[in-house]
Chains A and B, each alone.
Chain A
Amino acid sequence: MNDRKHVGEHPLDLLQSIGNMGAVKATASLSVLAGHPVENSYAKVRILPLEEVPGLFGDPERMIAAIIFQVSGDVRGQFIATFLMQDALDLITALTGAECSLEGEFSEMETSALAEAGNILASSYLAAIERTTGLAVVPSPPAVAVDMAAGILTSAVLPMHEAGSEILLIEARFGDRERELMGRMILLPSTESLPRLLRAVGGAAINA
């Protein structure tokens, strides 16, 4: 690939750098929201076989809270923010000022608090990509789900898979001083968006 020669970097490394950049901005915003420092501990890009999606977070039945956005504009795909349950509850408490438990369904206020946290992560992350690449990257309104990890992840990924897209995962994990892993942010660009994204990131790397 010509891009590689010019930039001297593998395309996956370029995508990783873009994921990192987005995640750093997103966790900075999350720190403000949570009231204490939150940092990225991990960023990785990989192409995942569909069969591995249900077990991506370990136990397929594990309960997680997820906020999911469709991404449109120059880059199409999905943006997913997930929290382990305890961290989702802590975050809701920090946002609403009310204790939140796992008993029963989340109230409307609790759900919108989660949606708001997701909104802040997604908009910071995607705005960072927009600024660096000059591409338009627009998130849809969020869908919030608190459910088994496998059900959420496969439901998010399957429409892209059905459309023939590879499952290319740009994943960042974040945590704080107490817990290394509070949640994850995942960008899933559609296969058709990749050349555009790579060109733009490559250009940004040259100009940097």
Chain B
Amino acid sequence: MPEQVIAVNMGQLEVSRRGGDVLAALGLGSCVAVCVYDPRVRMGGMIHVVLPSSAIGREREGQAKFADLGVPRLVAAMVKEGGSRQRLRLVMAGGANVLSSMNHGSALDIGSRNVAAVLAALETEKLSVWKSDVGGKTSRTVRLSVASGTVRVKTLRMGEKVLATLGGGNGQGSD
């Protein structure tokens, strides 16, 4: 099947069962991509989280812009399209502090706040993260292949690496 890249831009949520689709969030700095996969029906989903909390009164902006709203919406979208909550496997990547010399330890470090907010939202959903690649100082591109459930993370220094294969037996690594 020819590969088709579906860009998941800031604040967007995408769910796909088309085997040729690759969901991709490009150049994440402090943003976080949450990838979810149901290996039985080979369905993948991704959100591109921008900010931790909608509590600043802007819940109408982008369905997955805020971690607290985006995570439950991603899970609900997977279930609505025929996935099973019990089978969902999740990974997340991103949340870097690219401007660390300026933002270190301050509220301006949105990356680490995004990661914490995604984890809190997953806990509320009683779901856990299989594998993550978060923090650091480097931007990432995250790709989820719908056919295999493979999640790849690319940085400019290290190139592209497999973070997890969610379609496999145990979902860990590229075995």
Contact = CB atoms under 8 A, between A and B. Distances in A.
Contact of A147 (B11, B50, B102, B138): B138
A158 B102 contact: no
Interface stretch (B22-30, B80-88, B126-134): B22-30
A144 B110 CA distance: 17
Contacts of B137: 145
A143 interface: yes
Contacts of B156: 61, 63, 147-148
Contacts of A159: 103, 107-108, 110
Interface residues of B, number: 32
Contacts of A143: 99-103
Contacts of B96: 151, 155
A150 B27 contact: yes
Interface string B84-97: 00000000000011
The B contact surface, by secondary structure, is loop
Contacts of A54: 9-10, 26-27
A158 B110 contact: yes
B98 A145 contact: yes
A50 B26 contact: no
B26 A155 contact: no
Contacts of A195: none
B110 A149 contact: no
A60 B102 contact: no
Contacts of A51: 9-11
A142 B101 CA distance: 8
A86 to B, nearest CB: 15
